[in-house]
A and B are shown apart, each in its own frame.
Chain A
Amino acid sequence: MTVLAWRKGKSAGMTLLMALFTLAVLIPLVLIFIHIIKMGFSSINLDFFLQIPKPTGETGGGMANGLAGSAILITLASLLGIPVGIFGAIYLTEYGGGRFSDLIRFCADVLSGIPSIITGMVAYTLLVVPLKGFSALAGAFALSLIMIPIVLRTTEEQLKLVPGTLREASLALGIPLWRTTLKVTLRSALTGVITGILLSIARVAGETAPLLFTALGNQFWSRKLTEPIAAMPLQIFSFAISPYDDWHRLAWAGALVLVTIMFGLSLAARYFGRSRQSGN
């Protein structure tokens, strides 16, 4: 074999190797999805959405309290996370520039890289200990800490895309900067900002670790926000590590529902953003 043929062969061989690696990367994805659909689908019925888990040993039951709990936690978390993220980003783009803004951006990046279990520990210290108990409030707070950097960065990016001429047009009309920012700049960036918010919601919907010692989880319905509350990921966790087949079944169903919701949100976010953009 000539040297050239050897080199060519080697190149082809490496190409094949890279293809195999790509396949190896995609195989777990396929496997996981197949399992979730296969194992979860059969357990999806009306009961799943309407009933709370049955005690061990009894068949049936559902994850209704987990669905409701997750919805409540996410809503509460958004109440804090979205305004802080948006208005913080507004400060960085409209009033900032300079060292302070760089510092805040850096802090946001650092925050987003902190393992979420530590966020949970901090929320525990700040809200569970003083209030002397696990609560939905503490869980929502932990989740909002995760949302803030994401919303901040995506909003900032979107605001930067708004052309300066738009702001100038408004300011030159004698519109004060704050009205310009809200009614012109933010309005113009709105679809992108909403996309970012939806993505951040999809992300926290799946978070488990920060809820472990804040929301704690609940076998039953919660009546007050100062009580522990169930959440989908928490239930999936406890069902999965339990020894009961029935609870395993529920865990798979819960995984299917959770993944469907999350991907639904992500897809909605992306198509929402894209279609409005092409319309403009």
Chain B
Amino acid sequence: MIDDDVGVAEEPVLREIETTGWEIKKRLSGDNIFKWMTFLFAFSVLAILLLMVVEMVEESLLSMDKFGWGFITGQDWDAVQESFGALPFIWGSVVTSILALLLATPLSVGTALFITEIVPKKAGGVVASLVELLAAIPSVIYGLWGVLVMAPWVQRSVGPFLIDHLGFLPFFKGPAYGVGILAAVFILMIMVVPIITSITKEVILAVPQSQREAAIALGATRWEMLRIAVLPYGKSGILGAVILGLGRAIGETMAVTMVIGNTPQIFTSLLAPGYTMPSVIANEFAEASSNLHSAALMEIGLILLVVTLIINSLARLLIWSVTRGERGGNVI
């Protein structure tokens, strides 16, 4: 019942019909409209994801039909002959990412341990913020620095050094171009460290204090305590962090494109130029010369999408299983 003697300016929401004087009927209320509107927006997230997958598959069909599974093993990438094979790019993505992770993981875990276990909280917080700063730098700026500063340095210093001392190995055969796999690995390593570090930090913080105390009570040194109590406990979480880093590395586009040398080949030397999946898409997609070319690039994108989805899901599972109950799953 609206109280009329109050004289309030509006009662816009309630729509009332008085029948016997006491019934109040509900009509198309604001609540219903609002509920449906918010539902649609929430649902659109699912719709977008599905749409993305569907579009990627649909646009790749031309290429999938033509090359079949041979696309993954084919080494040709010839727009003129219309012969496309993705192996050089898959090879490039896999090699650069794995090498970057091999280098980044000890650095990240060491840093995470250092800032959580060794230095006082405040200093650790400052370093953690700085590491987060690294994560915030856009990929294109890493690329800028990479192509104008780091790659020349690799060409001038690191390359010749490796060739002189390790040139007998096939991995370090010259010449040193500067841009190439090594530069890409360095850049990826720098870009992936912040992610692994921050998640590892959370994982380490989630290790119960009782574990540490048990080791110390047995007379362990600090390193032994970390090795026996902390690291094994956080093992799967750290593994999850590394795998997440792998996912990021594989999907990394701009920085890699700017330093990798853009040569589709199955390289063995780290000093040689190469190509990754995102890089070839970035370079060629806007000007793809034919429908088949576009479809082939789309198919590479599809492979990239599937690989990233699998890797990220695996990573999340591992991380969730360790930090569940402590922090919840939203550390990423």
Interface residues of A (CB under 8 A from B): 7-8, 10-11, 14-15, 17-22, 24-26, 28-29, 31-32, 35-36, 83-84, 87-92, 94-96, 100-101, 103-104, 107-119, 121-122, 124-126, 134, 145, 148-149, 152-153, 157, 176-179, 181, 202, 205-209, 212-213, 216, 233, 236-237, 240-241, 248, 251-252, 255, 258-259, 262-263, 266
Task: For the complex, give the distance between the alpha carbons of A278 and B143 in Å.
Answer: 40
Task: For the complex, give the distance between the alpha carbons of A160 and B226 in Å.
Answer: 36
Contact of A113 among B45, B113, B312 (CB under 8 A): B312
Q: Is the CB of B134 within 8 A of A29?
A: yes
The majority secondary structure among interface residues of chain A is helix
Residues of the B chain whose Cβ atoms lie less than 8 Å from the Cβ of A119: 52
Q: Is the CB of B137 within 8 A of A115?
A: no
Task: For the complex, give the distance between the alpha carbons of A202 and B136 in Å.
Answer: 9
User: Is B301 part of the binding interface, using a Cβ–Cβ cutoff of 8 Å?
Assistant: yes
Question: Closest Cβ of chain B: how far from A14's Cβ, in Å?
Answer: 4
Q: Is the CB of A118 within 8 A of B56?
A: yes
Knowing A7-B221, A176-B29, A259-B141, the reply to whether A96 touches B107 (Cβ < 8 A) is no
Q: Is the CB of B55 within 8 A of A125?
A: yes
Residues of the A chain whose Cβ atoms lie less than 8 Å from the Cβ of B332: 109, 112-113
Q: Is the CB of B41 within 8 A of A177?
A: no
**Other 15 A-B pairs with CB < 8 A, given A26-B131, A114-B251:** A29-B130, A29-B131, A29-B134, A32-B142, A104-B42, A104-B43, A113-B309, A114-B305, A117-B251, A121-B59, A121-B281, A122-B56, A206-B139, A240-B148, A241-B147
Q: Is the CB of A95 within 8 A of B38?
A: yes
Task: For the complex, give the distance between the alpha carbons of A109 and B309 in Å.
Answer: 11
Q: How large is the interface on B (under 10, 10 to 19, 20 to 34, 35 or more residues)?
A: 35 or more
Task: For the complex, give the distance between the alpha carbons of A248 and B313 in Å.
Answer: 39
Residue of A with least CB distance to B315: A113
B186-221 vs A, Cβ < 8 Å mask (1 yes, 0 no): 000010010001000000000000000000000001
Residues of the A chain whose Cβ atoms lie less than 8 Å from the Cβ of B42: 87-89, 91-92, 96, 100-101, 104
What are 9 A-B contacts defined by CB distance under 8 Å? A11-B223, A18-B114, A95-B39, A103-B46, A118-B301, A237-B140, A240-B143, A255-B144, A262-B136
Residues of the B chain whose Cβ atoms lie less than 8 Å from the Cβ of A19: 114, 118
User: Is B8 part of the binding interface, using a Cβ–Cβ cutoff of 8 Å?
Assistant: no
Q: Is the CB of A177 within 8 A of B31?
A: yes
Question: Closest Cβ of chain B: how far from A102's Cβ, in Å?
Answer: 11
Q: Is the CB of A145 within 8 A of B133?
A: no
User: Is B253 part of the binding interface, using a Cβ–Cβ cutoff of 8 Å?
Assistant: yes
Q: Is the CB of A21 within 8 A of B140?
A: no
Contact of B31 among A100, A122, A153, A176 (CB under 8 A): A176
Q: Is the CB of B286 within 8 A of A216?
A: yes
Question: Closest Cβ of chain B: how far from A149's Cβ, in Å?
Answer: 7
Q: Is the CB of A107 within 8 A of B46?
A: yes
Residues of the B chain whose Cβ atoms lie less than 8 Å from the Cβ of A20: 110
Question: Closest Cβ of chain A: how far from B140's Cβ, in Å?
Answer: 4
Most buried by B among A8, A110, A118: A118
Task: For the complex, give the distance between the alpha carbons of A266 and B243 in Å.
Answer: 27
Task: For the complex, give the distance between the alpha carbons of A25 and B114 in Å.
Answer: 12
Q: Is the CB of A36 within 8 A of B110?
A: no
B239-267 vs A, Cβ < 8 Å mask (1 yes, 0 no): 00000000100111110001000000000
Q: Is the CB of A35 within 8 A of B145?
A: yes
Knowing A35-B149, A118-B56, A216-B286, the reply to whether A258 touches B43 (Cβ < 8 A) is no
Q: Is the CB of B138 within 8 A of A258?
A: yes
Residue of A with least CB distance to B288: A213
Residues of the A chain whose Cβ atoms lie less than 8 Å from the Cβ of B301: 117-118, 121
Contact of B221 among A10, A216, A236 (CB under 8 A): A10
Knowing A18-B111, A24-B107, the reply to whether A117 touches B137 (Cβ < 8 A) is no
Question: Closest Cβ of chain B: how far from A137's Cβ, in Å?
Answer: 17
Question: Closest Cβ of chain B: how far from A1's Cβ, in Å?
Answer: 14
Q: Is the CB of A208 within 8 A of B38?
A: no
Most buried by A among B137, B308, B332: B137
Residues of the B chain whose Cβ atoms lie less than 8 Å from the Cβ of A110: 49, 309, 312-313
User: Is B282 part of the binding interface, using a Cβ–Cβ cutoff of 8 Å?
Assistant: yes
Question: Closest Cβ of chain A: how far from B27's Cβ, in Å?
Answer: 13
Q: Is the CB of A241 within 8 A of B258?
A: yes
Knowing A122-B55, A202-B136, the reply to whether A25 touches B111 (Cβ < 8 A) is yes
Q: Is the CB of B48 within 8 A of A206?
A: no
Q: Is the CB of B145 within 8 A of A32?
A: yes
Question: Closest Cβ of chain A: how far from B321's Cβ, in Å?
Answer: 15
Task: For the complex, give the distance between the alpha carbons of A126 and B54 in Å.
Answer: 12
Residue of A with least CB distance to B227: A14
Knowing A18-B118, A118-B52, A212-B282, the reply to whether A104 touches B141 (Cβ < 8 A) is no
Knowing A110-B312, A121-B281, the reply to whether A22 touches B144 (Cβ < 8 A) is no
B127-164 vs A, Cβ < 8 Å mask (1 yes, 0 no): 10011011011111111110111000000000000000
Contacts of B298-332 to chain A: CB distance below 8 A: 298, 301, 304-305, 308-309, 312-313, 316, 329-330, 332
Contacts of B44-66 to chain A: CB distance below 8 A: 44-46, 48-49, 51-52, 55-56, 59
Question: Closest Cβ of chain B: how far from A133's Cβ, in Å?
Answer: 12
> Which 9 A-B pairs give the minimum distances between C-beta atoms?
A206-B138, A115-B251, A21-B110, A178-B34, A91-B38, A11-B221, A11-B223, A91-B42, A18-B114
